[in-house]
């Protein structure tokens, strides 16, 4: 993805796969205690045979599972008895910066198995916003699948959610011959543009509230006290005030443009999400200037960003004052090609990509879809990208029906060459229409308040 303004927050296997343990693991009920990683000093690898709740991971009826630890990453593989020769590789999302990695099963696990698809997932060997490691460990699953099952997949699909969407987009560009299709959901398809959005939300809120802030804030455990204290001064100056309404307008335009349900999404993200933390506090990495060992330097830049709170032809006096007063930040580093740092997404999919995104998601905003769509068009790959808008305020809150339909349509696209329907996400008028998102949304979310479909 071409970088204009950005900040980063957050192998082939040659021998048979067996759990690689650096020391004997203690038994805890039916699960084992985390195993020290042999490849990542200081890391522990959770037992892939158990979920984080301690529930044993067992095969679905008519399927067989394979689990283990390889090169510091835990893996799970499930193969149905009636396997159709196709494999889905699943990439998980961001898991903070803790030192224990764990693998989980995809939400569409039952659907894959019922349709005859095998699936594989990795914990990755590291946490943090380490997309490159996610790509390496996810791609390694293809060869690992052959090693542990004795079978080679004839077709491989790539899928992932949130940061796993970033992993998915990079994986198909880095390994174009490995995959036949991809399905990111709630994905960071705009690569480091996500962290520009975080920056934009923070600096405009501070400017409109008249609170002086500093950059960069130093990352630390939890939320830095300095920023928490500033948020405590900013929020009262914005809540229920003209300045707050201006800020809402700015966030709407920076997150995807005018669209139905935004007011309810803005209220949700300012009060009910992220464990009840204020929206700004949940996005504090926008002011951190780096990603704790993943990307050195500051990748964000808003020196030439002009903030607007309305779509009127001319900016208002309030907007002019905002752009005069807002903190400006200069980029000192760039996103990386390849798998180092925070990898770029160039928007050059070699295979069909069908994506789902909630239009009220303000953590990984809908604008990520638009950014990717623009890049695919610039690269004359727009025919390989279909985006579906879902009327929801949550991050990755899709229903099974929405996801199953998306996956089945992607498979049909790969098999027949017939491109499925999607939403016109770059048409401002259609995005702003009262019924935008109705076509592919299944079910009603009570927190999403908009005219009924």
Position 17 pLDDT exceeds 80 = no
Position 285 pLDDT exceeds 80 = no
Residues across the chain: 453
pLDDT of 432 reads 98
Position 220 pLDDT exceeds 70 = no
**Distance between CA 345 and CA 169 in Å, rounded?**
6
Q: What is the mean pLDDT of residues 112-138?
A: 97
| Position 386 in a domain | no
Least confident of 123-132, 140-149, 189-198, 295-304: 295-304
pLDDT in tens, 228-239: 888 999 999 999
| Position 380 in a domain | no
Position 27 pLDDT exceeds 50 = no
Higher pLDDT, 107 or 28: 107
* DSSP-based three-state secondary structure for 124: coil
Q: What is the mean pLDDT of residues 343-356?
A: 97
User: Which residues constitute the domain of residue 265?
Assistant: 193-325
Mean pLDDT, the chain, rounded, equals 89
| Position 25 in a domain | no
pLDDT in tens, 386-445: 999 999 999 999 999 999 999 999 999 999 999 999 999 999 999 999 999 999 999 999
Position 292 pLDDT exceeds 80 = no
| Position 11 in a domain | no
Closest CA to 89 of 13, 164, 10, 18: 164
Residue 12 banded pLDDT, cuts 50, 70, 90: very low
Q: What is the mean pLDDT of residues 362-377?
A: 98
pLDDT in tens, 35-70: 999 999 999 999 999 988 889 999 999 999 999 999
| Position 208 in a domain | yes
Q: What is the mean pLDDT of residues 154-170?
A: 98
Position 308 pLDDT exceeds 60 = yes
pLDDT of 383 reads 98
Question: Is the backbone peptide bond immediately before 216 cis, with ω within 30 degrees of 0?
Answer: yes
Position 103 pLDDT exceeds 90 = yes
pLDDT of 223 reads 67
Burial class (CB in 10 A: 0-12, 13-18, 19+), 229: exposed
| Position 234 in a domain | yes
Residue 331 banded pLDDT, cuts 50, 70, 90: confident
Beta strand extents in 81-230 (DSSP E only):
86-91, 100-101, 118-122, 155-161, 181-185
> DSSP letters along 402-423, please?
HHHHHHHHHHHHHHH-PPPP--
Q: Tell me the C-alpha to C-alpha distance, in Å, between residue 406 and each of 159, 179, 387, 390, 422.
A: 11, 17, 10, 11, 10
pLDDT of 275 reads 66
pLDDT of 20 reads 32
pLDDT of 157 reads 99
| Position 202 in a domain | yes
* DSSP-based three-state secondary structure for 345: coil
pLDDT of 61 reads 97
pLDDT of 273 reads 58
pLDDT of 229 reads 87
| Position 412 in a domain | no
pLDDT of 436 reads 98
Residue 4 banded pLDDT, cuts 50, 70, 90: very low
The single residue listed with the structure tokens 């199953």 is 404
Q: Tell me the C-alpha to C-alpha distance, in Å, between residue 130 and each of 9, 136, 274, 400.
A: 10, 10, 21, 28
pLDDT of 333 reads 72
pLDDT of 11 reads 21
Domain count across the chain = 1
Q: What is the mean pLDDT of residues 167-196?
A: 96
Question: In this structure, how many other beta carbons lie within 10 angstroms of the beta carbon of residue 11?
Answer: 11
pLDDT of 300 reads 86
pLDDT in tens, 246-268: 999 999 999 999 999 999 999 99
């Amino acid at each position: 993805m071409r970088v204009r303004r950005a900040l980063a927050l957050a192998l082939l296997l040659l021998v048979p796969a067996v759990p690689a343990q650096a020391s004997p693991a203690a038994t805890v009920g039916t699960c084992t205690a985390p195993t020290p990683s042999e490849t990542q000093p200081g890391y522990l690898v959770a037992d892939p045979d158990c979920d984080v709740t301690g529930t044993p991971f067992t095969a679905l009826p008519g399927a067989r599972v394979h689990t283990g630890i390889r090169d510091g990453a835990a893996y799970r593989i499930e193969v149905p008895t009636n396997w159709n020769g196709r494999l889905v590789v699943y990439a998980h999302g961001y898991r903070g910066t803790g030192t224990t990695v764990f693998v989980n099963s995809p939400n569409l696990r039952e659907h894959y198995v019922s349709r005859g698809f095998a699936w594989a997932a990795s914990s990755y060997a590291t946490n943090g916003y380490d997309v490159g490691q996610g790509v390496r460990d996810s791609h390694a699953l293809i060869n690992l699948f052959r090693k542990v099952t004795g079978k080679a997949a004839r077709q491989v699909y790539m899928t992932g959610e949130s940061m796993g969407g970033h992993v998915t987009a990079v994986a198909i560009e880095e390994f174009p011959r490995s995959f036949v299709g991809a399905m990111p959901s709630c994905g960071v398809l705009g690569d480091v543009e996500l962290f520009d959005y975080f920056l934009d939300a923070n600096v405009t809120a501070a400017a409109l509230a008249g609170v002086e802030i500093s950059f960069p804030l130093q990352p630390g455990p939890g939320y830095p006290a300095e920023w928490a204290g500033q948020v405590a001064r900013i929020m009262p100056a914005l809540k229920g005030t003209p300045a707050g309404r201006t800020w809402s307008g700015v966030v709407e335009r920076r997150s995807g443009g005018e669209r139905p349900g935004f007011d309810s999404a803005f209220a949700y993200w300012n009060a009910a999400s992220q464990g009840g933390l204020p929206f700004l506090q949940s996005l504090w990495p926008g002011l951190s200037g780096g990603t704790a060992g993943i990307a050195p330097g500051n990748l964000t830049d808003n020196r030439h960003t002009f903030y607007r709170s309305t779509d009127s032809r001319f900016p208002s006096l309030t907007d002019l004052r905002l752009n005069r007063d807002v903190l400006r930040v200069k980029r000192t580093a760039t996103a990386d090609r390849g798998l180092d740092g925070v990898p770029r997404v160039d928007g050059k999919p070699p295979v069909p990509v069908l994506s789902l995104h909630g239009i009220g998601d303000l953590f990984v905003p809908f604008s990520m879809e638009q950014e990717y769509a623009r890049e695919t068009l610039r690269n004359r790959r727009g025919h390989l990208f279909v985006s579906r808008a879902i009327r929801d305020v949550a991050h990755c809150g899709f229903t099974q029906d929405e996801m199953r339909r998306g996956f089945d349509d992607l498979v049909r696209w790969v098999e027949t060459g017939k491109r499925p329907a999607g939403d016109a996400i770059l048409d401002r008028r259609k995005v702003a229409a009262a019924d935008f998102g109705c076509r592919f949304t299944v079910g009603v979310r009570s927190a999403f308040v908009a005219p009924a479909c």
